[in-house]
Amino acid sequence: MTEAKIFVRRYDPETKKSWISEYNVPVEGDTMVLDALVYIKNKIDRTLTFRYSCRMAICGSCGMVINGRPMLACQTKVAEIRTPIVVEPLYNFDVIKDLVVDMDVFMHYLKEMKPYIIRKEEPKEIIVKSEQQEPIINPSACINCMLCYAACPVFGYDQTFKGPAALSLLYRYLMDPIDQGREERLKIANDKDAVWKCSFWGECSNACPKNVDPAFNIQRMKLMLGLSSLK
């Protein structure tokens, strides 16, 4: 068993002070950064605060910046990244404490996308073929980890931008074969703070741990709106 040096950016909301804490953590070949943080909290420093839950890249809770890149701590092996490891809270979000960020703005934008099936009538049965489901499989993989927001320079400068995950969610429902809210959703996409603020940096797609391609989804919606504006 070897030791890894981990630096963690801390923040105390009461004193409004930020500092870097240094820890030495015993690690093995398959130790994840999350395991190291849990070890720190249990054995070294109980004040360290961070979010986590499933430990298997499904819940999206442990999103943080590791060595300058937004990543999931449960999915990042200590042995596979450069040491010493520097762990920071997600960029572009207000920090509540240590590695915990305020998710309110993100949650607000998700709700604005109307993330539910809109139906005008309710038939007894809807048969959906697998090829009809194909366009929604990729955007449905989103785990709301907010890594894409932490990677997006547009959201960094302008927090009124709805952001990659919310718009990707909008695209998912737009492409859903049983959804009947196309007009409503295109109106949401056409908002000045929605797809038109995306500059297609593509860093959101680079950061996504589930290989969702929010950049593509947003450009597809731009194309849909562009072509429909010609009619």
Partner 1 sequence: MKTRVGYFRNARYTFKFIRELSSFIIALYSIYLLTLLYYYHMTLSDAILAGPLQMVLAIIALVFALIHSISWLYLMPRIVKVKVGGKELNINLVFGLLILIFLIITTIILVILI
Partner 2 sequence: MNKSHALTWLLFAGTATIAALLFPAFLIYSQIAPALGLDIKNVLNELSNNILFKLIFFIVIGSVIYHGFYRFKAILQEQAPSHEGIIEIMMIALAIIFVLLALAVVILL
CB atoms within 10 A of CB 194: 24
Q: Which one of residues 113, 150, 166, 198 is an interface residue with partner 1 (CB under 8 A)?
A: 150
Measured over all CA atoms, what is the biggest interatomic distance in the chain, rounded to whole angstroms? 66
Dihedrals phi, psi of 82, to nearest 5 degrees: -65, 135
Q: Which does 201 bind (CB under 5 to 8 A by kind): partner 2, partner 1, none?
A: partner 1
Q: Which long-range contacts (CB under 8 A, 24 or more apart) does 129-133 make?
A: 132/177, 133/177
Choose the stretch contacting partner 2; rule: CB under 8 A; options: 102-110, 172-180, 188-196, 205-213: 188-196
Q: Which does 202 bind (CB under 5 to 8 A by kind): partner 1, partner 2, none?
A: partner 1
Interacting positions 193-222 with partner 2 (CB under 8 A):
196-197, 199, 222
- CA distances to 106, 113, 117, 213 from 165, in Å: 9, 10, 18, 9
Q: Which one of residues 114, 190, 202, 220 is an interface residue with partner 2 (CB under 8 A)?
A: 190
Q: Which does 91 bind (CB under 5 to 8 A by kind): partner 2, partner 1, none?
A: partner 1
What contacts 35, CB < 8 A, 6 or more positions away?
Answer: 27, 78
Interacting positions 154-183 with partner 2 (CB under 8 A):
154, 157-158, 160
CB of 191 to partner 2, least distance (A): 9
CB of 158 to partner 2, least distance (A): 4
Q: Please tell me the distance from the alpha carbon of residue 161 to that of residue 167, in angstroms, as a whole number.
A: 10
Interacting positions 53-112 with partner 2 (CB under 8 A):
none
Q: Which of 170, 174, 178, 172 is CA-nearest to residue 128? A: 178
Q: Which two tokens stand for residue 227?
A: 């072509």
Choose the stretch contacting partner 2; rule: CB under 8 A; options: 28-36, 78-86, 125-133, 185-193: 185-193
Burial category of 68 from C-beta neighbours within 10 Å (exposed 0-12, middle 13-18, buried 19 and up): exposed
170 binds partner 1 (CB under 8 A): no
Q: Which two tokens stand for residue 189?
A: 């996409």
Q: Which does 186 bind (CB under 5 to 8 A by kind): partner 1, partner 2, none?
A: partner 2
Do 17 and 63 contact (CB within 8 A), yes or no?
no
When the beta carbons of 129 and 192 are compared against partner 2, the nearer one is: 192
Using CB under 8 A as the criterion, which residues of the chain lie in contact with partner 2 when the complex forms?
153-154, 157-158, 160, 186-187, 190, 192, 196-197, 199, 222-223, 225-230
Q: Which chain residues interact with partner 1 by CB under 8 A?
A: 11, 16, 18, 65, 68, 88-89, 91-95, 150-153, 155-157, 199-203, 213, 215-216, 219-220, 223
